[in-house]
Chains A and B, each alone.
Chain A
């Protein structure tokens, strides 16, 4: 422990961030007590051997992401990120609240647009969004849900307050790593699990499947669900296979599907089989060549019309990208008040809207102190961190902002919270974010206890995306009370059950044979 955490407190002080594991003075926070005990028992050699074996398991199991055409294991760090029960309770409420608000917002912008007529957001904001798809305007999707699955990115600032960084309601990915990380950690650091109650994550695929089935078009008794993947070259292909496998449904590509009479079928050896719910892991632009990019080979012509006619449920719904738009993000607290009449549980990060003249001038004066992001980017693409950028980069950025102010937002540089992370021969503080996943079945928003904690593996780096050298950590949500056995599994009943007897009386073949031998 001492050798592994050498220089740790100095490094935390240097970064000025909130450390998740240690309070100032290298005192472990209560929720990390057991993790600290487990790590203290280990030597450097133990830790590296385990880390290496975890990495090898990931490669063996094919837990990889595709980086520049190459399969790479997703680096998993051996120190988990632990969230105490009370903090999780807040996060859970905040995430569910946000999902409900975005669901209402999407329903509104593709319908009456009362949010615009009531003056909450400008019409132009919606109509200029690159992901506002007129093709899906004016109909309620079958099942009535648009945001079946969402990933709300949350960070913790230097004061230790959680803030929402962005919303992902199109195709949020990463949940497969949550499931795989837990498996790997159970074998990699078993000592840390013992006394405390860590909430399980393994029910996610079942929750997802039941939500998808519940939102099937009406009148279908036993809905057929499929996962639609762009194919083996997609960076998240592993996740698609894992989810399809764990839900026990078919993983289809666009060419396996066929639309006829506003119904969707898949080609099987037993002929065409009706598909009722499509869990779509393709970008909207490639989904339907009749409506979007006509050169797309990944989708299936006619899907959008089938959805409009109520013949198929597409999850998440087409056109959700308008709620992901980072300029819309800056209005989400207002949307929560407008639709739900509640105050936001988790605050946003302060955001400058660059199309407003005053804000723009203010930002352009201090570009070197801010983070500037494109409104429709994901995966950290196009993002510029002012303090780390060169003068040329800032000048280029300035020109781009002036030509397209609608396309950018600016935020102060947040010192994301840190968690100890193995780097070389010791632990160092590394910045993390958190993506909790929520599943909405129309009646209820369920938040997976945990989520994906991504970590920037370079010291001081604030970019946690896997495509830019990030790794991940298993995320443990503690629960105060032990999980009670289900009411249908009383242990005492074992003796009662032994009374039941349905087999025929045992034939005494042994005795009979000895009789025969005697004869």
Chain B
């Protein structure tokens, strides 16, 4: 398939998952933020923005600015509106490849972005709406697109972004240390009930973090998401080598996953910041490597002026 199309699909997967994860984080943390006195609210808003990988534009950064930056800022692909816009733009470029229902779903979502009040109550509804729309995108992608190479790129993007988003959910623990931080982490990931069922009476930060980081069966856990990505990469490049990997992306994803999966520790909480940092780095590096291997046509074909 065309590299350009593959790249679009990869980024549709990533952007939609990013919108979904950001909406989940915002929904849960907005509730907490709202209960804080204004002074603390401002500092926590900054920290939350930092977890999402952005820096405040101005000195005066409070709740309204946070909502703008994470939810409504169309010019920034790390906000919900920005990533859904970018996903739609990518789908438009690959319209003949994606199924029409998938394209329509993304397009309708894009036009629905403006229909929400941008205050706190409106943002709750906005987040809910985003969760519904992204679930629909995922469902349509899984049921109306052949599970061929193009779909693999979509799932690859989605899985990598999911690992990244779960890492951010885990990092929010430091932002709101007072109170029930682990409940919030789990609710971000929609994992609360699943966690309770597997853990019986063992609650706490440590167990919750372990669940989101290492659980082999929960689809939003980092290990699970990285394994998904790994499998997609294996299917995309089936050339069976007897030794090693030519593919950098596979090595990066595989190393990160196996390190986590086989790592043994007595103090997970102390190591958590490093784990999160390395997972996010691995996702970035893997994404770069994938771009270079599969989407890099433009670079290689670049015309270089020769001095004869």
Bound CA span A193–B177, Å = 19
A513 CA to B30 CA, complexed, in Å: 44
Which of A380-388, A413-421, A452-460, A491-499 has 4 or more CB atoms under 8 Å from chain B? A491-499
Q: Residue A202 contacts which of B177, B183, B201 (CB distance < 8 angstroms)?
A: B183
Complex CA gap A239/B137 in Å reads 33
How far does the Cβ of A74 sit from chain B's closest Cβ, in whole Å?
A: 20
A194-214 contact mask (Cβ, 8 Å, vs B): 1 or 0: 110010101100100110010
Are B271 and A502 in contact (CB-based, < 8 A)? yes
B196 touching A188 by the CB < 8 A rule? Answer: no
Total interface residues on A, CB under 8 Å, equals 44
Closest to A246 in B: B196
Give Cα A66 to B71, complex, Å.
Answer: 38
Partner of B181, one of A186, A489, A490: A489
A210 to B120, CA, bound (A): 36
For the complex, what is the distance from the CA of A488 to the CA of B37, rounded to whole Å? 23
Contacts of B197 on A, CB cut-off 8 Å?
A: 248
Q: In chain A between 242 and 274, which residues have their CB closer than 8 angstroms to a CB of chain B?
A: 245-249
A490 to B174, CA, bound (A): 10
The reply on A119 being an interface residue by CB < 8 A is: no
Q: How far is the CB of A492 from chain B (nearest CB, A)?
A: 10
In the complex, which residues 193-238 of chain B have their Cβ closer than 8 Å to any Cβ of chain A?
193, 195-201, 203, 205
Contacting pair B273 A489 (CB below 8 A): no
A194 contact from B35, B121, B174, B270, Cβ within 8 A: B35
Find out whether the CB atom of A509 lies under 8 angstroms from the CB atom of B271.
no
Does A220 make an interface contact (CB < 8 A)? no
Contact call A502/B263, Cβ cutoff below 8 A: yes
Q: CA–CA, A485 to B200, complex, Å?
A: 25
Q: Is the CB of B34 within 8 A of A194?
A: yes
Residues A153-208 near B (CB distance < 8 A): 186-188, 190-191, 193-195, 198, 200, 202-203, 206
**Are A485 and B121 neighbours in the complex by a CB distance under 8 Å?**
no
**What mask results when residues 213 to 246 of chain A are scored 1 for a CB within 8 Å of chain B, else 0?**
1000000001000000000000000000000011
- A503-B267 Cα distance, complex, nearest whole Å: 14
In contact, B183 and A194 (Cβ under 8 angstroms): no
B31, A491: Cβ atoms closer than 8 Å:
no
B124 touches A503 (CB 8 A): no
Cβ < 8 Å to B, chain A residues 464-506: 483-485, 488-491, 494, 497-498, 500-504, 506
Are B201 and A213 in touch, CB under 8 angstroms? yes
Contact B273 A494 (CB under 8 A): yes
| A50 at interface by CB-CB < 8 Å | yes
**A53 at interface, CB cutoff 8 A:** yes
State whether B259 touches A504 (Cβ < 8 A).
Answer: yes
The contact string, 1 if C-beta is below 8 Å from chain A, for chain B 115-129, is 000001100110000
Q: Which residue of B lies closest to A195 (CB)?
A: B37
Asked if A503 and B35 sit within 8 Å, CB to CB, the answer is no
**A509 touching B196 in the complex, CB below 8 Å, given contacts A186-B31, A500-B271, A500-B274:** no
Contacts of A198 in B (CB 8 A): 35
Residue among A248, A494, A507 making CB contact with B196, cutoff 8 Å: A248
Write out the residue numbers on chain A whose beta carbons fall within 8 Å of the beta carbon of B267. Answer: 500
Q: Which residues of A contact B125 (CB under 8 A)?
A: 53
User: How far, in whole Å, are A462 and B41 apart by their CA atoms in the complex?
Assistant: 42
Contact among A194, A200, A246, A248 for B199, CB-based, below 8 A: A248
B179 proximal to A (CB < 8 A)? yes
Pick from A195, A503, A509: contact of B285, CB under 8 Å: A509
Minimum C-beta distance from A366 to chain B (A): 50
A200 to B289 Cα, complex, angstroms: 47
**Neighbouring A residues of B121 by C-beta, 8 Å:** 50, 187-188, 190
Q: Do B200 and A502 touch (CB < 8 A)?
A: no
A502 contact set on B, CB distance < 8 A? 263, 265, 271, 274
**Residue B251 interfacial (CB < 8 Å):** yes
B126 to chain A, nearest CB (A): 12
Contact B179 A503 (CB under 8 A): no
Nearest CB to that of A213 among chain B residues? B201
List, in ascending order, chain A residues with CB within 8 A of B178's CB. Answer: 483-485, 489
Given contacts A483-B179, A485-B179, A489-B181, contact A500 B285 (CB under 8 A): no
A199–B31 Cα gap in the complex (Å)? Answer: 14
A501 to chain B, nearest CB (A): 6
Across the interface, do B124 and A187 meet the contact criterion of CB distance under 8 Å? Answer: yes
Q: Mark B243-254, 1 if CB is under 8 A from A, else 0.
A: 000001001100
Q: Which residues of B contact A50 (CB under 8 A)?
A: 121
Question: Which residues of A are found within 8 Å of B200, using beta-carbon distances?
Answer: 222, 248-249
Q: CB-defined interface of B43-80 with A at 8 Å, one 1/0 digit per residue?
A: 00000000000000000000000000000000000000
Q: CA of A213 to CA of B202 in the docked complex: distance in angstroms?
A: 12
Q: Chain B residues with Cβ under 8 A from A488's Cβ?
A: 205
B180 interfacial by beta-carbon distance below 8 Å: yes
Measured between beta carbons, the chain A residues less than 8 angstroms from B120 are 190-191
Query: Are A200 and B177 CB-contacts (below 8 A) given A190-B34, A195-B37?
Result: no
The answer to whether B272 has its CB under 8 Å from any CB of chain A is yes
Is A193 a contact partner of B35 (Cβ separation < 8 A)? yes
Instruction: Answer whether residue B147 sits at the interface, using C-beta atoms and an 8 A cutoff.
Output: no
Question: A497-B272, A497-B273 known; A245 and B193 CB under 8 Å?
Answer: yes
Contacts of A193 in B (CB 8 A): 34-35
Residue in chain B with minimal CB distance to A197: B35
For the complex formed, measure the closest distance between the CB of A282 and the CB atoms of chain B, giving whole angstroms.
Answer: 23
Residues on A with C-beta less than 8 A from B272 are 497
| In the complex, chain B residues whose CB is within 8 Å of the CB of A507 | 255
Which residues from 139 to 168 on chain B have a C-beta closer than 8 Å to any C-beta of chain A?
A: none
Chain B residue numbers with a CB within 8 Å of A506 are: 281
Residues in chain A near residue B285, CB distance under 8 A? 509-510
B93 is an interface residue with CB less than 8 A from chain A: no
The answer on a CB contact under 8 Å between B278 and A503 is yes
Give Cα A186–Cα B271 distance, bound, in whole angstroms: 33
B-side residues, CB < 8 A to A, are 30-31, 34-38, 120-121, 124-125, 174, 177-181, 183, 193, 195-201, 203, 205, 248, 251-252, 255, 259, 263, 265, 267, 269-275, 278, 281, 285, 289
- Give 14 pairs: A residue, B residue, CB < 8 Å, sorted on A: A50-B121, A53-B125, A187-B124, A190-B31, A193-B35, A200-B179, A213-B201, A245-B196, A249-B200, A494-B174, A494-B273, A500-B270, A500-B271, A502-B265
A-B interface, 8 closest residue pairs, ranked by CB to CB distance from nearest:
A248-B196, A485-B178, A190-B34, A187-B124, A489-B177, A193-B35, A190-B120, A248-B197
